[in-house]
């Protein structure tokens, strides 16, 4: 008879651990429920969460440590700025290499809405302000001539004159 209470205790403990572990990692979308960007945040969370980290959408898909990075890890939009045209290009064409991200993962008006959402909220944890060419609120976060080529944040190193602006800012 002493086995039955031990079995119940073990099962109850296992159930308690599984419930607490299941709740771990669930992040909430940080965009207000009545915001025009809320639908885009939900679409991003549904379609992009597996590969991209973005607090605004409540996702954690990128590696936090470069040593643990996987091939499928996409950019962390908390620390990377973006502009609408480049995000839309990546959505439509499978990123910039076309090797990992599926093309047209979001289509139509949702694709445009997601591109605008990412562009508006991207870079919230990046040091410094928005780089030249990445747009701003006044122009709807549209790219300017300075962002013709996709680039990585590590490429934004001081140029020959030491100004710190190589002409290419971080991209999607």
Report pTM.
0.69
pLDDT of residue 35: 95
Interatomic CA distance for residues 150 and 152, integer angstroms: 7
77 has pLDDT over 90: yes
108-121 and 38-48 helices cross at what angle (nearest 10)? 100
pLDDT of residue 168: 38
Question: Each residue of 126-172: pLDDT tens digit?
Answer: 998 899 889 999 999 999 865 444 444 444 333 333 333 333 334 44
Average pLDDT over residues 24-34: 84
pLDDT of residue 161: 37
Q: How far is CA 28 from CA 33, 52, 155, 159, in A?
A: 11, 15, 32, 40
pLDDT of residue 28: 94
Backbone φ and ψ for 93, nearest 5 degrees, come out as -110, 5
Helical ranges in the chain per DSSP H:
3-23, 38-48, 84-93, 108-121
Please, what are the domains in the chain? 26-155 (1.10.760.10)
Question: Each residue of 95-105: pLDDT tens digit?
Answer: 988 889 999 99
Question: Do residues 29 and 121 lie in contact, with contact meaning Cβ atoms separated by under 8 Å?
Answer: no
Average pLDDT over residues 106-120: 97
pLDDT confidence tier of residue 27, bands split at 50, 70 and 90? confident
pLDDT of residue 72: 85
pLDDT of residue 68: 84
Interatomic CA distance for residues 42 and 40, integer angstroms: 5
Interatomic CA distance for residues 9 and 5, integer angstroms: 6
Question: Each residue of 45-65: pLDDT tens digit?
Answer: 999 999 999 999 999 988 877
């Amino acid at each position: 008879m002493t086995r039955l209470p031990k079995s119940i205790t073990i099962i109850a403990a296992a159930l308690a651990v599984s419930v607490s572990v299941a709740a771990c990692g669930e992040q909430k979308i940080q965009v207000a429920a009545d915001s025009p960007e809320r639908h885009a945040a939900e679409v991003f969370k549904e379609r992009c969460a597996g590969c991209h980290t973005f607090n605004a959408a409540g996702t954690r898909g990128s590696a936090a440590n470069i040593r643990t990075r996987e091939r499928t890890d996409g950019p962390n939009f908390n620390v990377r700025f973006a502009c609408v045209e480049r995000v839309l290009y990546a959505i439509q064409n499978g990123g910039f290499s076309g090797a990992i991200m599926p093309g047209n993962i979001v289509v139509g008006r949702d694709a445009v809405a997601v591109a605008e959402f990412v562009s508006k909220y991207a870079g919230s944890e990046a040091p410094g302000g928005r780089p030249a060419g990445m747009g701003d609120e006044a122009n709807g976060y549209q790219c300017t001539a300075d962002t013709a080529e996709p680039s990585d944040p590590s490429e934004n190193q001081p140029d020959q004159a030491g100004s710190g602006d190589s002409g290419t800012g971080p991209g999607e």
